[in-house]
């Protein structure tokens, strides 16, 4: 079990960010170990046949079961909503000594890419970046807008939980292996026991689509610890429409508005709601305008997305 003890300052230094490169790494792991990832089956069927060839530099470093993935593959985000270009620039700029130090921590036998990076990191990093870009186009680009909306919705939700309930609210329901007591975070997800007392580093919490149902973590000293956890409402990602049962709420406020309210279990954008409800984007926009005016729904901008959220009173009504 891992324990992280928080100082008073560290309690105020919990921040949230998603990371496209972190998502790429988790997606490669998911594609190479599909067992137990039933929620991603539609994506796995599409991507599986394309693994290989130009992706070798990336596949060489993301080895299932190795227990360690080089940290330089996913730099710590400097903003809550980075884009891929920003993170690839940080990957290209990784100092050679950092690349070599991370690679020496790998327990799996070094593959061709690791050997090349140890020998001459500059050109090998460019080949790695090219492999990431290829994987992104093959496996991620078409789905990224929906993934990003889901991730941004999680950032909004966790931020509200932190503001209203403190760290206990943030970690409640985040993952079965995570427990918060007092000022200590317990992570029951590794065979070795270790502990760390934070002294101002804070904690980064990164939601992820493809890490589900597990976790990724970077908690060793020095540096800011990072925990990558499954994003909320992940089951909605691959949905192509729902057919909710009729109920009393439909009769009171109208079927379309009732359907939209039920789908806002997690924050969502207009396009997400249109896809999941089979209503047109124009109809969803019109109903959301009415719901905003009446008060059951609020909206928040997160990154480039406008996300709609049920109010506490609406939550109680639907409950």
- Could you read off the pLDDT of 97-130 as tens digits, one per residue? 999 999 998 877 788 888 999 999 899 999 999 9
Quote the DSSP letter at residue 214. S
Banded model confidence at residue 174, pLDDT cuts 50, 70, 90: very high
pLDDT reported for residue 246: 47
Query: What pLDDT score was predicted for residue 54?
Result: 83
Asked if 58 and 21 touch (Cβ cutoff 8 Å), the reply is: no
One domain for residues 64 and 172: yes
Q: Parallel, antiparallel, or unpaired for β 2-5 and 226-230?
A: unpaired
Give the lowest-confidence range in 75-79, 87-91, 140-144, 306-310.
306-310
Nearest to 146 by CA among 43, 36, 283: 43
Q: Which sign does the torsion angle of CA 258, 262, 266, 271 carry?
A: negative
Of the residues 234, 259, 290, which one is the last residue of a structural domain? Answer: 234
Residue 174 CA: distances (Å) to CA of 171, 188, 232:
5, 13, 8
pLDDT digit string (tens) for 221-277? 778 899 999 998 887 787 655 444 446 666 677 888 888 888 887 788 898 888 888
Q: Please compute Rg for the chain using Cα positions.
A: 21
**Extended strands (E) in the chain:** 2-5, 14-16, 178-181, 184-187, 194-197, 203-208, 216-218, 226-230, 297-302, 305-310
Is 7 found in the same domain as 104? Answer: yes
Residues 44 and 191 in one domain: yes
Token pair belonging to 220: 């060793």
pLDDT at 236: 77
DSSP-derived secondary structure letter, 268? B
**Last residue within a domain, chosen from 211, 234, 257:** 234
Confidence of residue 316 (pLDDT cuts 50, 70, 90): low
CA distance 162 to 152: 15
Residue 82 lies in domain = 2-234
- Angle in degrees, CA 146, 148, 153, rounded to 5: 100
Residue in the block written with tokens 């990093």: 125
**Which pLDDT score is estimated for 35?**
84
* Bridge partners for 187 per DSSP: 2, 178
Domain stops at, among 197, 216, 234: 234
Q: 123 and 77, same structural domain? A: yes
Distance between CA 62 and CA 55 in Å, rounded? 11
Q: Does the pLDDT at position 193 exceed 90?
A: no
Whether residue 246 is found in the same domain as residue 227: no
Do 119 and 62 sit in the same domain of this protein?
A: yes
The pLDDT value given to residue 184: 94
Residue 196, SS3 per DSSP: strand
Output the domain CATH number for residue 310: 1.10.10.10
DSSP string, 9-59: HHHT-EEE---HHHHHHHHHHHHH--TT-GGGHHHHHHHGGG-SGGGHHHH
**Do 76 and 224 share a domain, yes or no?**
yes
Query: pLDDT digits over 38-51, tens only?
Result: 888 888 888 877 77
Domain count for the chain, please give it: 2
Same domain for 260 and 122: no
CA 75 – CA 102 distance, rounded (Å): 12
297 and 225 co-located in one domain: no
**Based on the domain organization, do 257 and 293 belong to the same domain?**
yes
CB 131 within 8 A of CB 57: yes
Residues in the chain: 319
| pLDDT per residue as tens digits for the range 117-163 | 999 989 999 999 999 999 999 999 988 988 888 898 899 889 888 98
Give the DSSP letter of residue 138.
Answer: I
Please choose, from the candidates 254, 317, 241, 316, the residue with its C-alpha nearest in 3D space to the C-alpha of residue 287: 254
Pair (58, 153) in one structural domain: yes
* Residue 189 pLDDT class (50, 70, 90 cuts): low
pLDDT at position 85 over 90: yes
Shared-domain flag, residues 219 and 203: yes
239 closest CA partner among 44, 42, 46: 42
């Amino acid at each position: 079990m891992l324990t992280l003890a928080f100082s008073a300052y560290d309690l105020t230094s919990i921040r949230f960010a998603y990371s496209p490169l972190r998502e790429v790494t988790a997606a490669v792991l998911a594609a190479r170990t599909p067992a137990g990832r039933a929620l991603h089956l539609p994506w796995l069927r599409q991507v599986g046949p394309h693994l290989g060839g130009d992706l070798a530099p990336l596949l060489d470093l993301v080895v299932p079961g190795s227990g360690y993935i080089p940290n330089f593959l996913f730099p710590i985000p400097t903003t809550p909503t980075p884009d891929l270009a920003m993170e690839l620039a940080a990957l290209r700029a990784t100092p050679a000594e950092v690349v070599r130090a991370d690679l020496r921590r790998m327990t799996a036998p070094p593959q061709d890419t690791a050997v090349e990076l140890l020998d001459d990191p500059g050109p090998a990093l460019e080949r790695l970046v090219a492999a990431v870009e290829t994987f992104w186009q093959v496996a991620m680009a078409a789905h990224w807008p929906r993934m990003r909306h889901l991730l941004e919705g999680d950032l909004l939700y966790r931020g509200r939980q932190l503001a209203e309930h403190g760290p206990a609210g943030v970690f409640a329901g985040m993952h079965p292996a995570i427990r918060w007591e007092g000022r200590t975070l317990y992570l029951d997800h590794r065979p070795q026991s270790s502990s760390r007392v934070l002294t101002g580093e804070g904690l980064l919490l990164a939601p992820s689509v493809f890490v589900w149902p597990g976790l990724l973590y970077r908690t060793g000293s020095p540096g800011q610890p990072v925990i990558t956890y499954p994003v909320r409402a992940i089951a909605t990602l691959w949905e192509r429409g729902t057919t909710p049962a009729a109920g009393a709420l439909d009769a009171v406020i109208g079927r379309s508005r009732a359907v939209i309210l039920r789908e806002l279990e997690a924050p969502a954008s207009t396009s997400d709601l249109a896809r999941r409800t089979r209503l047109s984007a124009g109809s969803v926009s019109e109903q959301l305008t009415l719901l905003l005016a009446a008060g059951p729904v609020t909206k928040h901008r997160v990154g480039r997305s406008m996300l709609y959220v049920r109010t506490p009173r609406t939550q109680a009504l639907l409950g």
